[in-house]
Structure 1
Amino acid sequence: MLPRAPFVSVVIFLATGILFGDTLRAAVHVPVALFWAVSGLLGIGCGLFYHFKNRTAFAVGLGAWMVLLGAVCQITVEEGKDASIAALDALEYTSFTAEVTSLPEKRANSIRFEVDARSFLSGGRWIGQPVRALLYLPDSLRELPQPGDHIVIQGHLQQPEPPQNPEQFDYARYLRNKGILFTAFVRSGSFAIVSKPAKSGPLYWPEAVSKWADEQFGTHINDRAAYGLVKAMLLGRRDDLLAEQTSDYTISGAVHILSVSGMHVAIIFLAISAAFGWLRKWEFGKWVYLLIMAGLLGFYALVTGLPPSVQRAALMCMMLVIAEVAGRRHYPMNTLAFSALVILLCDPCALYDVGFQLSYLAMAGIFLLYGPIERIVFPQNRALRFVWQVTALSLAAQIATFPLSLYYFHQFPTYFWLVNPLVVVFTNVLLPAALLLLLVSACGLPWLAWLVGKVAGLSAWLTDWAASIPRALPGHLLENLHLEIFEVILLYALIFLVWYTLHSRSLSYLKASFVVVMLFAASSVMSSLNTYLKPAALTFTIPGHHATAFKRGNVLYLVSDRSFSDDARAFDFNVRNYAVSMEIERIINVIAP
C-alpha cells in the first residue's frame, strides 16, 4: 500500500475487479448471492487481520477483497440489466408510458431525451416494468416534453444494435454502461403528453435550474457563438455550438472544455476560494467558508444538471475543504482516489466512461506532474511566472491523458502547448463570470447582470479566438494515430517511471524507463509491419449503402455506391476506425456501377 495515499491502491484493486467481473460472469455460472457471501467473509477476515495488527495479511486480504468486491458489484449490476431486458422481451405490448428525466437535446434531424419507461400495455392491461430508454422525436414538434412530464407512446422499445463492422464504436455498450437499455424513434402523432405534474420536488431541481440558467444566458449574452460556448461549458449541452467552433476546439486540443468536467468545478472552486479564503483566518470563519463553498458549489452543480463528472469533482473539492477546515492533513491523491472509490462502489460502470477516465487521469497528472514541470523554469517576472504556471498545469494534464486520448480519438493536437494556457486563462474569467451572472440575475439586479453578461460574452469570444489560432498554422493536427492497449499500458508505465525517478531521485528507475521505451518501439514496429503485410477484404454493413473494402499495404480500395461516397457521417461511423486500425494512409474510392 502507498503510505500517504492508501486509497490509490484500494481503487486500483477495485477497478481490477470491475474489469474482471464481466469475464467471471461469463466463465462461472454461480449465484450472485454466493459471491456476496464470499466477499463478506473476506471483509470479516480483513477486519480481524487489522484488529490483530497483522499488516501483511491485512494488505493481501484487503487487495483480494477489493478485487472480489469490484467483480461482485459489476456482476450484480449487469445481471440486473439482463433481467430487465429479458422481462421486457417477454412482454407483447402495443404502447408504453414513460416519465421524461432529461432536458431535450437537439440532434441533426431529431430531438432526443432520456426517459424512465414505467408501464406497458399488454393484453388490455398495464403491466409495470421500469427500464431506462433514450427516445428520439421529430424536430418539427411545437411542444417538447420536459423533465417530469408523463408521456404515452404507441410503439416498441428496441435494444441498440451491437457494432456491425470491425472497430466500429459500440454504441450499445456505451448506452448500457449509462444504464440505458433501449431506444425508440417515435413518429409524429404516435405519442402524447398525458400529464404535467407539479415539479417542485428535489428530483426536478437540476433540470429546472439548468433550464432557468439557459434562459438567463440567452437573455444577457447576445453573440450566438459566445452563448453556445457558455451553454456548453456551464450546462453541458452542445446543441447551440457552431460546427466551426467544435472543429476549432478539436484542432487546438481544448475540446475537453466543451464538456462539463472536473476542470470546470476546479476553476469555480479556486474562484470561490480566492474570494472568500480570508474567512479561514478565524475559527468561526472557517465554518462560514465551508458553508459558502458548499452552497456555491451546490448551486453550480444544479446549474450543470448534476452530471456524474460534476458530482465526483464536487465531492473531491468538498473533501479537500472539510479536511482543511477540520485541521486534518490531507493528500490530494488520496482524496482523489477516495472520491473515485465512492463513485465506483455506487456505479461500477462509471469505470468504462471515457469522461471518468480522462477526468481522473488529468487530476492525477496535475497532482503528480505539475510540481516537477513547474520547477523546470523560474521566471522572475510575475506575469511570466503566471503564464508558465498555467502552461505547466496544461502540460501536466496533457501528459497524463494523451496515451488514452490517442487510443480513443486517434489524433493529437500539436499546438496544445500554445493554445491551452490561453484557454485556461480566459476560462478562469469566463466560468466565474457566468456563475456570477446567474447569481445576480437571481438577486434581481438587471443592471449588474447586464454588466457581468458583457464580461462573460467577451471572455467567451477571447476563448473562441484562442482556440482558432492553430487553424492558421501548418500541421495543426496529427490524425489517424493508432495505439494498441498494450502500447497504452507501456506509455503509462514510462510516464510513471520518469515521475518516480524525479520523486525518488534514483537513476535505477530511469534505466527501467529505457527498457520500456525499447519495448514500446519493438511492439509498435512489429504491429505496424504485421498490419502492413497482411492483406484484407471485407464487406461493411451500412444501412442504406453498400461498401466493400480491399486492403493492400497501407492503401484501402473502397468500392461503394455513389451516395455513400458523399455521406461523410456514414463513413466516419462505420469505416474510419477500421481504416485507422489498419494504419491506412490512402483511401481510393471506387464507385460501383
Structure 2
Amino acid sequence: MKRWPLNKAYSWETAPFLRLLPPLVAGIVLYSGNVAEYVAWIVSAAIFSFIVFVGTSFVRRQTDFTRAIIFFSLQFSLFFTAWLSCYYNDVRNDRDWMGESINTADAYVARLVQAPAEKEKTWKLEVDVTNAVDSDRVTSANGRAFVYVYKYDAPALKEGDALVLPNKWQRISNRGNPYEFDYATYCARNNIYYQQFISGRDIVIHQYADEHSLPWIRRVHHWCVRQLEWHITDRATLGLLKAMLFDDRDMLDGELTEAYAQTGIVHIIAISGGHITIFFVLVAFLLGWIRHKKYRWVKYIAAIPLIWIYVVVAGAPPSAVRAATMFSILGIGFALQKTPNGINQLLAAAFLLLVTEPMWLYSIGFQLSFVAVLSIMLFYRPVYKWWSPVNKIARMLWGAVAVSVAAEILVAPLVIYYFHLFPLQFIIANVLAYLFMGVILVLGMLLIAMSSIYHVAHLIAEVTTILSSWFNRLVYALQHLNFDSLHQLTLTELQLVLVYVVISGITIFILKKSKPAFFAAGIALVLFIASVCFVYVRILQQEMLIVYNISKDNRIELITGTTATVLDGKDSVNVATRNFVLEPAHINLHINEERKSEKDNLVRVADKTVFILNQPVKDTLIPADVVILNSKYADMAEIKRVFQPGVLVIPAKLSKGKAENISMEAGQQGIRVHDVGNDGAYILSK
C-alpha cells in the first residue's frame, strides 16, 4: 500500500521562535531614547498590529494574502513591543529621574547599593538616588549613579547606608581615545548616567544601615561571604572563590583575570551557564538512582528550584539570573516535551529575557552565553562522532573536549571581535577549567555548609587553597603558550557577519548537502578576503597624529602605516594606561612597531604642520597649522604671532583650572582651542 509522501518541515516551522526573535531584536536595536513625543503613536501601532494579527488568525479560510497579513502584523506588533519595552526600561523617561533636577537641586539623598569598591586613589560607591533636596524642599528622585570618594578622608561606609550627597554630578563621558571601550554607552545601557568625585567631607551620613534592615537575599549573601573570609586566608584563593560562587569581584587579582581571559577560561569567574550546568550535574548525580527514561524529567524539575536558591544566595547578579532563567526554560521544555526542540527552547529563553530586560541584548556575557549554548546544541554531536573511544574515562574526557570544540566554533568569532584574541590552548584550558570549577564549587559549598565545625571547614579551606594555587600556576603557564600574533586579531562588524555566513553555509552543506548553502559560503568567503585586503591596504596608507586623553599625563604618537612613533610621553606607562588606552588603539590600528622619536618638535602629518611647544619661542616665525601646548606657561599673543595656528591643543596633563584659563586667553586672541581633557583625544588624520 502506498503512503502519502511527507514534506519535511522548514526550520522556522519546527522552531517558531526563529520567526519571533528577529523583530524583537530589531525593535531593541532601533530604539532611540529621545523620541518621547512618538510614544502614543508607537503604542497605537502596537495595539493595531496585534488586533490585526488576532483578527486575521481566526479567519477560517486562509489564503496567501491572509497568511501574509498574519505574518507581517505579528512581526510589527513584536517590533513595537520591543521598542516600548526599551522605552519603559529607560530611566530617563521616568518623571522622577535625577537628571530632571540636576540644574535645580542642592543635594541628593542616596542609598549605598553594595559595599565600597577600592580603587587606586578612591573608594567607588554605587548608589541609588531616592530624593532630591532643593532648599528646604525634599522631592522624590530616582536613578543609579557612581560616587568616587578620595581615600585620604573617606568615611567608613557599608551597604545600605543612606547618604546626603552634594549636587556635583558630572555626566559620564568617554575620553575620546581611539577604539577605547565605550564606557559611557555601557553605563547608559545599565541606566547609569552620572558620577561625581568628592572628598569625605562632602558626604553627610543620613542613616547607618543595620544588617537586619537589608533584604534577606543580601543578608544570606553576606553571611556566606563572611564564612569564606573567616576560613580562607590566601587572598588570591579568596578572591577567586568569591567571584566564582557569589560574583563578588572586589578582591580579584588583575593579572590573574588577564591570564584567565587570554587562555579562554574567564567565563568560569562570572556566574554563568557553566556554573548552572555543574549544579545540574550534581543534582542529577544525587538522583542517579532514577534511571528510567520515563522519569528523567524529575531531575530537571528538582534542579530548577535548587539553582534559583543558589542564584539568590549569590546575590542575584544579572549574569546568574540570565543563566538560571535560560536553564529553567530549557529544563521545563525538556521535562514536558516528549521530543524536545532545544534550539526553539533556547530562542524562547532569549525572547523572554529580552522582553523583560531589552538592554541585555548588548551584554557581552549574554551574547557569549547564548552563542555558546547554541553552538554546543548544533555541533556537539557531529564533533563527538569524530572519535569513538572504548575506555569509559577516555569517553568522558573526549566528551569534554567535544563540548569545548563545539562551543568554540561560534564563540571564537565573537571573542576575536570583542577581545582581539584567539586562545589556541582553549581545548586543554577549558577541560581543566571545568574540572577545576566543578571541584572548587563543591568545596566552596561544603566549606559554607560546614563552617560551624571549625576544623572540618579549615581543612576544606586548606585543600581549596592548594588546588587553587596549582591551577593558577597552570593557567599562567598556558598563558605563555599562545602566539603574540593571536592576541592582536581584529574583525569589523561586516567581517564578523561574513564569518558567521561562512560557518553557517559550510555547516548546512555538510549536514544537508545543500549546494546553495555551499555557494553562499563561498561568496561570503570571497567577500571576507576582499574586506581583509581592503583593510590592510588602508592600514598601510594610514597617517595620523594622536594626542591621547590620559589623566595628568601626556602621550603624543605619530602613526605611519604600522609604526607608532612616540613624540612625547614616558618610556614606561602604567598597566591601566597600557591595557585600556594604548592597546585598543594599537591593535585596531594594526601597530606592530613602537619607537621613540629622536627628531625635533616639528612634524608634517596629513598635509598639515604640527609643532609641539615645550618652551616659549621668541624672535622667530614658524607657521604651523596645529600647536600642541606642552608647557604650563604660554603667552597667547606671542603664540599667535609666531605660529598663526589653526588649532591650539591643550594636553590632559594640565590641570582643569589651568586649561580653562589658557582656553579663555586663546579665545581672546581668536585662536581655536581643543582641550583634550574636556573635548577628548585630539586626532589629526587624512
TM-score by length of 1: 0.90
Structure 1: how far apart are the matches of 2:522 and 2:295? 54
1:273 — aligned with what? 284
1:555 — aligned with what? 563
2:117 — aligned with what? 105
Shift, 1:65, TM fit: 2.5
Shift, 1:301, TM fit: 0.4
Structure 1, 486-495 or 71-80: larger mean CA deviation: 71-80
The question of whether the paired residues in 2 share the 8 Å contact of 1:107 and 1:239 is answered with no
2:576 — aligned with what? 569
The question of whether the paired residues in 2 share the 8 Å contact of 1:373 and 1:392 is answered with yes
Structure 1: how far apart are the matches of 2:480 and 2:356? 46
The aligned amino acid for 1:310 is A
Structure 1: how far apart are the matches of 2:209 and 2:550? 42
Structure 2: how far apart are the matches of 1:392 and 1:467? 21
Q: Does 1:305 align with 2:315?
A: yes
Structure 2: how far apart are the matches of 1:458 and 1:56? 64
Change (3 A) 1:133 1:18: same
Structure 1: how far apart are the matches of 2:391 and 2:593? 49
2:264 — aligned with what? 253
Shift, 1:334, TM fit: 1.9
1:361 — aligned with what? 371
Q: Does 1:538 align with 2:513?
A: no
Shift, 1:280, TM fit: 7.7
2:75 — aligned with what? 63
Q: Secondary structure of 1:210's match?
A: helix
Structure 1, 431-440 or 168-177: larger mean CA deviation: 431-440
The question of whether the paired residues in 2 share the 8 Å contact of 1:251 and 1:470 is answered with no
Shift, 1:302, TM fit: 1.9
The aligned amino acid for 1:91 is T
| Matches for 1:43-442 after TM superposition, within 5 Å | 43-52=50-59, 55-78=67-90, 80=92, 84=97, 86-93=99-106, 95-139=107-151, 144-197=156-209, 200=212, 204-278=215-289, 292-326=302-336, 329-441=339-451
The question of whether the paired residues in 2 share the 8 Å contact of 1:559 and 1:590 is answered with yes
What do residues 518-574 of structure 1 show as CA deviations (whole Å, max 9, x unaligned)?
111111111111122132223333332233322211112232243x84334234333
Structure 1: how far apart are the matches of 2:169 and 2:559? 38
Structure 1, 310-319 or 63-72: larger mean CA deviation: 63-72
Identity of aligned residues (%): 25
Higher relative contact order (CA 8 A, sep 6+): 1
TM-score by length of 2: 0.78
Q: Secondary structure of 2:567's match?
A: strand
Gaps of 5+ in 1: none
The question of whether the paired residues in 2 share the 8 Å contact of 1:279 and 1:286 is answered with no
Q: Aligned to 1:490, which of 464, 477, 498?
A: 498
Structure 2: how far apart are the matches of 1:372 and 1:107? 47
Q: Secondary structure of 1:219's match?
A: helix
Q: Secondary structure of 2:44's match?
A: helix
Q: Aligned to 1:512, which of 513, 516, 520?
A: 520
Change (3 A) 1:213 1:549: same
Structure 2: how far apart are the matches of 1:445 and 1:280? 35
Change (3 A) 1:451 1:261: same
Structure 2: how far apart are the matches of 1:226 and 1:29? 49
Q: Aligned to 2:39, which of 27, 32, 43?
A: 32
Alpha-carbon RMSD across the aligned residues, in angstroms, is: 2.9
Q: Aligned to 2:595, which of 585, 588, 591?
A: 588
The aligned amino acid for 1:314 is A
Change (3 A) 1:63 1:152: same
Change (3 A) 1:79 1:182: closer
The question of whether the paired residues in 1 share the 8 Å contact of 2:115 and 2:125 is answered with yes
Change (3 A) 1:361 1:274: same
| Structure number, greater radius of gyration | 2
Structure 1, 61-70 or 176-185: larger mean CA deviation: 61-70
Structure 2: how far apart are the matches of 1:20 and 1:350? 15
1:460 — aligned with what? 468
Structure 2: how far apart are the matches of 1:81 and 1:409? 33
Q: Secondary structure of 2:536's match?
A: helix
Structure 2: how far apart are the matches of 1:139 and 1:268? 40
The aligned amino acid for 1:276 is L
Structure 1, 189-198 or 295-304: larger mean CA deviation: 189-198
Q: Secondary structure of 1:169's match?
A: coil
Shift, 1:35, TM fit: 0.5
The aligned amino acid for 1:460 is S
Shift, 1:149, TM fit: 2.1
The question of whether the paired residues in 2 share the 8 Å contact of 1:153 and 1:186 is answered with no
Structure 1: how far apart are the matches of 2:326 and 2:164? 40
Gaps of 5+ in 2: 1-10, 599-611, 615-686
Q: Secondary structure of 2:422's match?
A: strand
Structure 2: how far apart are the matches of 1:481 and 1:586? 16
Change (3 A) 1:312 1:580: same
Change (3 A) 1:331 1:523: same
Higher helix share: 1
